[in-house]
């Protein structure tokens, strides 16, 4: 049988025939046919079935050439292999799928039907497992898709990792720096990367934290020391005491479950301190959700940075560079019944006399506050003693000759407040760990008595509060932060301070005063007293914001990483600081995953964040794990198949895109092992 093709141009003929007709020689060797090329004419002859296969391949190759594709020898080899497995295969969608990259090469294309299915799966699914033989392009294509996603601004960072070495163990016996120890294990990832991006661009992206290449044991290390505090609905507990299923507080103030706990071993620990004095401890690669001035100006969401990425660049000119998100709503502690109206408690803590040696009293020049206190205290009469002094008398006292305890005094005893003075007052725990309404009411009572709005030209209104009780100061800081506000604290020393005035008399200061400056979110009004509230509303309360002030190394400690079931992966740590625990907006590639243990694989998969893609590559037949250990990749394939949103691509010998001998070697080993190969 013969088949003749008339080509349209010399360029078409040269591209189809190849240098010294090498493409035609490949057809003759593979299909057992004869080819004759004269000018722009090509004739195939031989057995009918062989010529039909050759004809179909030539038609496919001509279609690629006419679409602008330049054919090289290895691409013709891949095409022949693909046609041998599937004679009806259409090569057009495979070879014309161009993945744009950031180098002079400009783009990468799949070479086999399996590779095309792989690329399509990465586009479609958030998690893709690529399992199969070495040489099938698993890592290379994943890298191309990652660089393409970065170029198209679909992700903000690329993370490349391998489980080739247990960091912190074997590395310790190798000479050199951390990079010198780790780089040999990560060399294949770097090799693919250098083919996708220019060297200078790679260096810049690494310096900016856009690209991270690290062993798996280091990649998981977003950790805090075991003794660091995490906020729960019941209060603060150490992160080391948490168990899977426990509830912690998320960034929206609501409870969220702990779904993963991952001990990290001994880590280098840093203290990260905010401009308002709040601080917490974490490791160098702990994750933080931060805003920058540019992000705010462009109405962009937060970006995810590691501690080490922020260190040394905390200021931009005289501005703080990194703003941390505050809790977006007041913390939702369980509601509890309280023995005294919370607003009344705040008023009494501010201007009440609670010594217990006399009948409780209240001092204020604002009749509005006295009336509010009287309305809130049932069974109590507000007896005016002077223009500013009121005695809180039992309305039922002295009747029938029976001595009845003052109800306010009885409640104060129950709350352990009876006998406290200005320097020892505090807010009882049942009011601190209560609903947002209760906490706000206590704060309003305190601010209506000992606080007030502070107005400065050209600035929004802040709230000023002072107390001589260190414990009450800490309680007010807790209230403000739990409501989503920011508070600054300073000490005004009594020594050397000018005396105050009271009714024309000098009053010397005996105790140091703690001065607090407060900014609350718009949802929380700081005052009920009308004159203060009106002034506050006229000037506006401003926008509470928290910025990173400094980062200091404090030493090494055992650390742990947790994962929470919150949509934004944020949780609340010390001083109501909102921190992060997973990777959002990232393209993550785990290479050589057959060397993961099941525990490592589960840890890795549960780190997936929002707007992220994860590609896991490996060959389950080439595990380097100790004998008897199960491969995490093999286990994941059995457990996760069929889950919506996860794609599995299985490569075989027809997808090998290395030297032609590689495919022959694989087939030879399969035959030797008794496997059936096609």
Number of other CB atoms surrounding residue 308 within 10 Å: 15
Number of neighbours of residue 455 by Cβ within 10 angstroms = 13
Structural domain includes residue 487:
yes
Q: Which residue has the higher pLDDT, 296 or 275?
A: 275
**Residue at 334 is within a domain:** no
> What confidence score (pLDDT) does residue 68 get?
77
Q: What is the pLDDT of residue 602?
A: 81
Distance separating alpha carbons of residues 484 and 634, to the nearest angstrom: 46
Task: Please classify residue 304 by burial: count the beta carbons closer than 10 Å to its beta carbon, then call 0-12 exposed, 13-18 middle and 19+ buried.
Answer: buried
Q: How confident is the model at residue 180 (pLDDT cuts 50, 70, 90)?
A: low
- Rounded CA-CA distance 247/257 in Å is 5
DSSP class of 618:
E
The rounded Cα 562 to chain-centroid distance in angstroms is: 12
Residue % of the chain over a pLDDT of 70: 89
Sheet holding 157-162, edge to edge: 211-215, 157-162, 586-590, 613-618, 127-131, 646-650
212 vs 326: which has the higher pLDDT: 326
pLDDT at residue 164, as a whole number: 56
Report how far residue 349's alpha carbon sits from residue 466's, in angstroms, rounded to the nearest whole number. Answer: 12
Residue 207 has pLDDT above 70, yes or no: no
Q: Is there a single domain that holds both residue 522 and residue 566?
A: no
Answer whether 5's CB lies under 8 Å from 35's CB: no
Kindly state whether residues 387 and 534 are assigned to the same domain.
yes
Q: What per-residue confidence (pLDDT) applies to 171?
A: 47
Share in percent of the chain as helix, strand, coil (round to 5): 35, 25, 40
Is 94 within the bounds of a domain?
A: no
563-604 pLDDT, tens digit per residue, is: 787 767 789 999 999 887 656 678 999 998 998 888 888 878
Region 168-193: mean pLDDT is 59
Rounded to whole angstroms, the Cα distance separating 586 from 175 reads 32
Measure the CA–CA gap between 408 and 381, rounded to whole angstroms.
11
d(Cα 243, Cα 303) in Å, to the nearest integer? 29
The pLDDT assigned to 181 comes to 53
**Residue 176 confidence (pLDDT):** 52
Structural domain tally of the chain? 4
610: pLDDT strictly greater than 70: no
Contacts of 203 (CB under 8 A, 6+ apart): none
Any idea what the CATH number is for the domain that residue 40 is in?
3.30.1370.10
Q: Are residues 594 and 451 in the same domain?
A: no
DSSP 631: P
Least Cα distance to 291 among 253, 331, 320 occurs for: 320
43-48's contacts with Cβ under 8 Å and 24+ in sequence apart are 43/2, 43/3, 43/4, 43/5, 44/2, 44/3, 44/4, 44/5, 45/1, 45/2, 45/3, 46/1, 47/1, 48/1
Same domain, 257 and 157: no
Quick one: 203 and 129 in the same domain?
yes
Distance separating alpha carbons of residues 21 and 661, to the nearest angstrom:
21
Please check whether residue 428 lies inside any domain of the structure.
yes
Per-residue pLDDT, averaged over 191-206, amounts to: 82
Average pLDDT score over residue span 110-127: 90
Query: Is 93 a member of any domain?
Result: no
- 76 vs 487, more confident: 487
User: What mean pLDDT comes out for the span 502-521?
Assistant: 86
CATH of the domain at 505: 3.10.28.10
Same-domain check for residues 320 and 278: yes
Q: Shortest CA distance to 602 belongs to which of 612, 613, 590, 611? A: 590
b/e for 337-346, b at 16 or more Cβ within 10 A?
ebebbbbbbb
Report the C-alpha gap between 375 and 381 in whole angstroms. Answer: 9
Alpha carbon distance 510, 497 (integer Å): 10
Radius of gyration of the CA atoms of the chain, in A: 36
Q: pLDDT band at 317, cuts 50/70/90?
A: confident
Question: Same domain, yes or no, for 474 and 397?
Answer: yes
299 & 356 share domain:
no
The answer to whether residues 147 and 233 belong to one domain is no
Say which CATH number the domain at 662 has: 3.40.50.300
Of the residues 61, 88, 115, which one is the last residue of a structural domain?
88
Tokens at 405, concatenated: 């305890």
Average pLDDT over residues 535-560: 90
The three-point CA angle 65-68-69 to 5° equals 60
Instruction: Tell me the average pLDDT of the chain.
Output: 85
Nearest to 281 by CA among 558, 673, 625: 558
392 and 460 belong to one structural domain: yes
Of 68, 88, 108, the residue that ends a domain is 88
How many of the other CB atoms lie within 10 Å of CB of 300?
A: 11
CA 393 and chain centroid, separation: 56
Question: For residues 280 and 224, what is the distance between their CA atoms, to the nearest angstrom?
Answer: 9
Residue 415 sits in the same domain as residue 516: yes
The domain that holds 274 is classified in CATH as 2.170.16.10
Burial degree of 369 (CB within 10 A; 0-12, 13-18, 19+)? buried
Higher pLDDT, 121 or 306: 121
d(CA 345, CA 527): 15
> Of 38, 59, 88, which residue is a domain's last?
88
pLDDT in tens, 39-87: 888 888 989 888 888 888 888 888 888 877 777 787 788 777 777 766 6
**CA atoms 412, 413, 416, 420: torsion sign:** positive
Question: Between 138-151 and 113-124, two packed helices, what is the crossing angle to 10 degrees?
Answer: 40
Domain, as residue range, for 463: 342-539
pLDDT value at 286 more than 80: yes
Instruction: Quick: pLDDT tens for 415-436.
Output: 999 999 999 999 999 999 999 9
Neighbours of 374 (CB within 10 A): 17
pTM (two decimals): 0.66
The token duo for 520 is 């609350």
CA distance 191 to 198: 12
| 531-535: long-range contacts, CB 8 A cutoff, minimum separation 24 | 531/366, 532/447, 532/448, 532/451, 532/452, 532/453, 535/453, 535/455, 535/461
**Cα→Cα distances 541→291, 338, 371, 614, Å:** 21, 30, 27, 43
Q: Report the pLDDT averaged over residues 136-145.
A: 91
The pLDDT of residue 100: 86
- Picking from 164, 219, 129, 160, the residue whose alpha carbon sits closest to that of residue 634 is 129
CA distance 493 to 201: 55
* DSSP secondary structure of 638-657: HHHTT-TTEEEEE--GGG--
Specify the residue for token string 């168990």: 243
pLDDT at 174 over 60: no
Q: What is the mean pLDDT of residues 344-358?
A: 93
Residues 527 and 385 grouped into a single domain: yes
Summarize the confidence of residues 331-356 as an average pLDDT. 95
Q: Which of 49-58, 85-94, 441-450, 601-610 has the highest mean pLDDT?
A: 441-450
d(CA 562, CA 243): 9
């Amino acid at each position: 049988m013969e088949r003749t093709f008339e080509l349209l141009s010399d360029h078409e003929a040269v591209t189809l025939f190849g240098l010294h007709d090498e493409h035609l020689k490949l057809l003759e060797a593979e299909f057992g046919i004869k080819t004759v090329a004269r000018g722009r004419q090509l004739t195939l002859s031989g057995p009918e079935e062989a010529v039909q296969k050759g004809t179909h391949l030539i038609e496919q190759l001509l279609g690629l050439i006419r679409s602008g594709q330049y054919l090289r020898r290895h691409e013709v080899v891949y095409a022949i292999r693909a046609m041998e497995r599937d004679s009806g295969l259409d090569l057009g969608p495979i070879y014309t799928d161009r993945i744009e990259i950031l180098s002079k090469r400009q783009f990468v294309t799949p070479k086999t039907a399996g590779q095309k299915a792989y690329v399509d799966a990465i586009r479609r699914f958030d998690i893709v497992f690529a399992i199969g033989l070495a040489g099938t392009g698993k890592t290379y294509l994943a890298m191309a898709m990652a660089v393409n996603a970065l170029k198209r601004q679909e992700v903000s960072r690329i993370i490349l990792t391998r489980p080739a070495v247990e960091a912190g163990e074997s590395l310790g016996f190798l000479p050199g720096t951390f990079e010198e120890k780790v780089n040999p294990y990560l060399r294949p990832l770097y090799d693919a990367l250098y083919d996708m991006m220019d060297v200078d661009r790679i260096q810049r992206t690494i310096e900016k934290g856009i690209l991270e290449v690290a062993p798996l044991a280091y990649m998981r290390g977003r950790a805090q020391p075991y003794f660091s505090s995490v906020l729960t609905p019941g209060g603060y507990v150490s992160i080391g005491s948490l168990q899977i299923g426990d509830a912690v507080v998320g960034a929206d103030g609501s409870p969220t479950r702990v779904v993963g706990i991952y001990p990290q071993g001994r880590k280098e620990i840093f203290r990260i301190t905010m401009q308002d004095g709040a601080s917490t401890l974490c490791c160098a690669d702990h994750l933080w959700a931060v805003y920058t001035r540019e992000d705010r100006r462009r109405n962009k969401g937060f970006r995810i940075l590691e501690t080490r990425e922020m260190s040394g660049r905390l200021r931009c000119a005289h501005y703080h560079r990194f703003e941390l998100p505050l809790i977006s709503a007041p913390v939702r502690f369980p509601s509890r019944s309280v023995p005294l109206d919370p607003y009344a408690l705040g008023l009494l803590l501010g201007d009440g006399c609670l010594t217990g040696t006399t009948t409780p009293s209240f001092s204020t020049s604002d009749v509005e506050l006295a009336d509010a206190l009287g309305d809130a205290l049932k069974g109590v009469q507000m007896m005016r003693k002077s223009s500013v002094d009121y005695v809180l008398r039992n309305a039922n006292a002295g009747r029938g000759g029976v001595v009845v305890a003052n109800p306010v005094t009885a409640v104060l005893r129950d709350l352990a407040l009876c006998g406290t003075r200005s320097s020892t007052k505090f807010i009882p725990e049942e009011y601190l760990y209560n609903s947002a309404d209760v906490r706000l009411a206590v704060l309003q009572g305190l601010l209506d008595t000992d606080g007030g709005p502070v107005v400065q030209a050209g600035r929004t209104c802040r709230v000023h509060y002072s107390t001589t009780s260190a414990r009450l100061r800490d309680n007010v800081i807790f209230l403000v932060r739990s409501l989503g506000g920011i508070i600054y604290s300073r000490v005004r020393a009594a020594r050397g301070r000018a005396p105050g005035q009271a009714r024309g008399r000098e009053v010397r200061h005996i105790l140091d005063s703690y001065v607090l400056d407060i900014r609350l979110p718009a949802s929380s009004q700081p005052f009920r007293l009308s004159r203060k509230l009106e002034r506050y509303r006229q000037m506006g309360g401003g926008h509470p914001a928290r910025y990173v002030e400094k980062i200091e190394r404090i030493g090494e400690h055992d650390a742990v990483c947790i994962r929470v079931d919150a949509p934004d992966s944020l949780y609340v740590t010390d001083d109501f600081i909102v921190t992060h625990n997973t990777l959002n907006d990232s393209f993550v590639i785990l290479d050589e995953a057959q060397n993961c243990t099941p525990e490592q694989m589960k840890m890795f998969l549960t780190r997936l964040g929002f707007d992220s893609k994860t590609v896991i590559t490996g060959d389950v037949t080439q595990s380097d794990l100790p004998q008897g250990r199960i491969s995490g990749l093999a286990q994941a394939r059995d457990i996760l198949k069929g889950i919506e949103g996860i794609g599995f691509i299985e490569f075989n010998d027809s997808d090998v895109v290395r030297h032609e001998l590689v495919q022959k070697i694989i087939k030879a080993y399969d035959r030797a092992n008794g496997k059936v190969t096609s």
